[in-house]
Amino acid sequence: MHIIKLNATDSTNTYLRNMIGAKVVEDFTVVTAKYQTKGRGQRGSTWDSEPSKNLMFSVFVDTTRIKLDYPFYLSMATALAIRRSLNTFVIPQLHIKWPNDILSHHKKVCGVLIENVIKQAQVSASIIGIGLNVNQTEFKGLPNASSLKNITGRYYNLDEILNSIIINLKQYVSLLKQGEFHGVLQEYNDYLFRKNKPSTFKDAEGNMFMGYIKSVLESGDLQVLLEDDVVKLFELKDVSLLY
C-alpha cells in the first residue's frame, strides 16, 4: 500500500486525479493531507476541517477486474468499510445515511465523495475521497456534524484509523471482485439510517414530504413508501433525506 502524506493540498481527490493523468498509479494508492484548502463533499458542498485533527484522504481503486454493472456498489463497499472500522474502535450507534454518510448517534462523522474514471464507456477506476471527523470538537454552523472525540471523549491516532479503513476497504472491494454483490447490498441495507421509520425528505424544488425508507437498490436509487401505499424510487439528484 503506497501512502502519500501531504501537509496541505487543495483537494486529495484532485491531487490523485492529477497523478493518474501523469503516470501509472498503483492500486490502493492513498493520498492524505493534514489540511485541504478546497475540500469537497456531495452535491457540490465544501468539507472544512481544522488542520491535523481529522482524516482527509483519497484512495485510488482499479476497478478493471470488477464487473460493475452498477457503480453504486463501490459506494456501498466504501460506506461499509468505514462503518466496520469505526465499529472496531467502539464508536456507538453507527448507521449509513444514504448514499454514504456515516452517522453516530444520528450525527454525521464521515462523508464520502467518489469520482469515477471512465474509459470506453466503462468505469476503469475510482477515486474515493473520505473525510472523517476524528479529534475536532467544534463545528460552527453545522449542527448535525460531530466527531469521534465528541462522541466518546477519547483522542484517536489518525494513522491507526486510516490503516483500518484501507484494510477493510480492500476486503469489501475483494468481495466485489468475487461477485458477492448480493451480500454487500444486503449488509448496506441492514445499516441504513431511518429504514422503515417515518422520515422527512426534500425534493429538488425544495418541497418537503414524509415517507418510509424501504431499501436502496443496486442502482443507488432510494425506495420510499409514500402515502396511499405508493412506493417511489428517487435518484440522488432528486431528493435529500433530512436528519
For the chain, give the percent of residues with pLDDT over 90: 82
What pLDDT does residue 39 have? 59
Mean pLDDT of 227-233: 93
Q: Which of 25-39, 93-107, 195-209 has the lowest mean pLDDT?
A: 25-39
**What is the overall mean pLDDT for the chain?**
93
Q: How far is CA 10 from CA 32, 37, 43, 113, 224, in A?
A: 11, 4, 18, 15, 37
- Its pTM stands at 0.94
pLDDT for 178 beyond 90? yes
Structural domain boundaries in the chain: 3-190, 198-241
| Mode of pairing for the β-strands spanning 231-234 and 122-132 | unpaired
The fold of the 198-241 domain, in CATH, is SH3 type barrels. (2.30.30)
Q: Which of 91-100, 102-111, 117-126, 145-154 has the lowest mean pLDDT?
A: 117-126
Question: Are 3-190 and 198-241 equal in CATH topology?
Answer: no
Class of the CATH-defined domain 3-190: alpha beta
